[in-house]
Structure 1
Amino acid sequence: MRISFERTGGFAGISRKKTVDTASIPANEADQLPSLIQAADFFNLPEKITASTTQPDRFQYKLTVEDENREHTITVSETALPGTLRPLIEWLQQK
């Protein structure tokens, strides 16, 4: 499994990108990813998740998950972040 993660926006407007591949991280960390993806129901999330009102200086997240024959990309604003997706975002930000 491979995840590309990008966070943009915020007060300083700094972009942060990273890619996590389960083949290149410790096994105990790699074992956490599938359950985070499943708990978020990631592959069934819409491609864009936005809030009804925009707020300046909030983060935007773009995630692409590649797993075997599946690939899905979503873009979500911080203010519209589903609670089920938050643990995955937090895990990725710690890596």
Structure 2
Amino acid sequence: MRISFERTGGFAGISKKTTLDTATLPPKEAKELPVLVEAADLFQLPEKITSSHPQSDRFQYKLTIEDNGKQHTVTVSETALPGTLRPLIEWLNHTAQKKS
């Protein structure tokens, strides 16, 4: 499983981008990532999730997942983040921070 994660926006407008692959992650993280993706039901989410009340200086997240020949991209604003997706976003933010 491979996932590309990009966070843009925020007050400072700093972009963060990383790509993670379960084949190259440490064993603990390689086990956690698929569990979080499945819990988020990522492949079933629409390609774009927006808020009916957009707010300036909020983050935008773009996730592209590749697994078993399937690929799906989801772009979501921080204000419209579904609860099922939040643990995956937090994990990706934390993991991307450790890599930088």
TM-score, normalized by length of structure 1? 0.98
- Look up the match of 1:87: 87
**Which residue is equivalent to 1:9?**
9
Q: Considering only aligned residues, what root-mean-square deviation do their CA atoms show, in Å?
A: 0.5
3-state DSSP of counterpart to 2:43? helix
Deviation, 1:91, is 0.5
Counterpart in the other structure of 2:27: 27
- TM-score where L is the length of structure 2: 0.93
Q: Which residue of 2 aligns with 1:70?
A: 70
1:58 aligns with 2:55: no
In the TM superposition, what is the alpha-carbon distance from 1:26 to its structure 2 partner? 0.8
Identify unmatched segments of 5+ residues in structure 2: 96-100
Partner of 2:98: none
Q: Tell me the distance in 2 between the aligned counterparts of 1:11 and 1:56.
A: 8
What is the Cα deviation at residue 84 of structure 1? 0.3
Deviation above 3 Å: which 4+ runs of structure 1? none
Gaps spanning 5+ residues in structure 1: where?
none
